[in-house]
Structure 1
Amino acid sequence: MQIISILAFAGHSEAAIQFYVEALGAEVITLMRWKDSPDPAMHTVSSDPDKIMHASFLIGDTILMATDGIQTLAQPDIKGVTLNLEAKDDAEARQLFTALSEGGQVQMPLAKTFWTSLSGMVTDRFGVSWMVNVASSEE
């Protein structure tokens, strides 16, 4: 069994995915717009048929999905979930944290903790909460 998170960006999926491509090296796997659905009834679900109906992208070994969703369901801020990003070392943690922080809000600056050499929390410009940690050498 696998759990894959779906992030609803309320009309900003394309910009969010591009941000993750640039900031985290994400790789787009699938991108389907409402107008491209094989079901013609889906073409009018969104007020903008060019918005993203479904996308999936890979960050490291993790698949995330994104949607602009049906406007009444999509929320501009993603609450109650934090994505944990494990960096291989301090330099990578700093680079990832800095990239995610651009236009976002730092919740906890990167600092040494009892569980790792660097850990920090940031909410990116799209409302996604991230924790960046240096991977433990004991794993």
Structure 2
Amino acid sequence: MKFINPYLNFNGNTEEVFNFYKSVFGGEFAMVMRFRDTQGCEDMPEEEKDGIMHIALPVGSSVIMGTDVPKSMPQVTTGSSVSLCIHMDSREESDRVYKGLSEGGEATMPMADMFWGDYYGMLTDKFGIQWMISFSTQDYSKM
């Protein structure tokens, strides 16, 4: 396996969420597809057609992807079963991303040097997504 791309589901605010992530991480969307432009969604309620069918934001060597869950499907509930762990290139970049993602959210573990050697912190962003931010000089690919 080479990589895992997280796929996030939201109840109608995917565009807001991904614009927020774009403001923190930078870059451009690799794809934005709306329901109205997707074959098979013609019978969808008009108020949902501008929702996001698929969106993709490259972040480093990964891609964060997401969608709006149509109201005809079971709606998303915020939970704690998934955290996104992102490995940064520097302490400064770690601090910048931590500060950006925690704005309006909950900083659960401030960035700090950890006993295992990483500079690490945890937070839940304002959309209920848990993040683990890490910087290390260790090469984890050889472990």
**TM-score bracket for the superposition, by shorter chain length:** 0.7 to 0.9
1:90 is aligned to 91
Q: How many residues align?
A: 137
In structure 2, the CA distance between the partners of 1:75 and 1:26, relative to structure 1 (3 Å rule), is farther
* Identical aligned residues as a percent: 31
In structure 2, the CA distance between the partners of 1:56 and 1:123, relative to structure 1 (3 Å rule), is same
CA-CA distance at 1:78 after TM superposition: 4.8
In structure 2, the CA distance between the partners of 1:44 and 1:135, relative to structure 1 (3 Å rule), is farther
In structure 2, the CA distance between the partners of 1:137 and 1:13, relative to structure 1 (3 Å rule), is same
Worse overlay, 76-85 or 104-113:
76-85
Structure 2, unaligned runs of 5 or more = none
Q: CA RMSD in A?
A: 1.8
Deviations 1:66-122 (A, max 9, x none): 000223334152531111111111111110100000111111111110123421101
Whole-angstrom CA distance in 1 between matches of 2:39 and 2:12: 21
Worse overlay, 120-129 or 26-35:
26-35
Whole-angstrom CA distance in 2 between matches of 1:38 and 1:135: 45
2:25 is aligned to 24
1:63 aligned to 2:95? no
Q: Tell me the TM-score normalized by structure 2.
A: 0.85
Q: Tell me the TM-score normalized by structure 1.
A: 0.87
The AA in structure 2 aligned to 1:68 is D
Whole-angstrom CA distance in 2 between matches of 1:135 and 1:12: 33
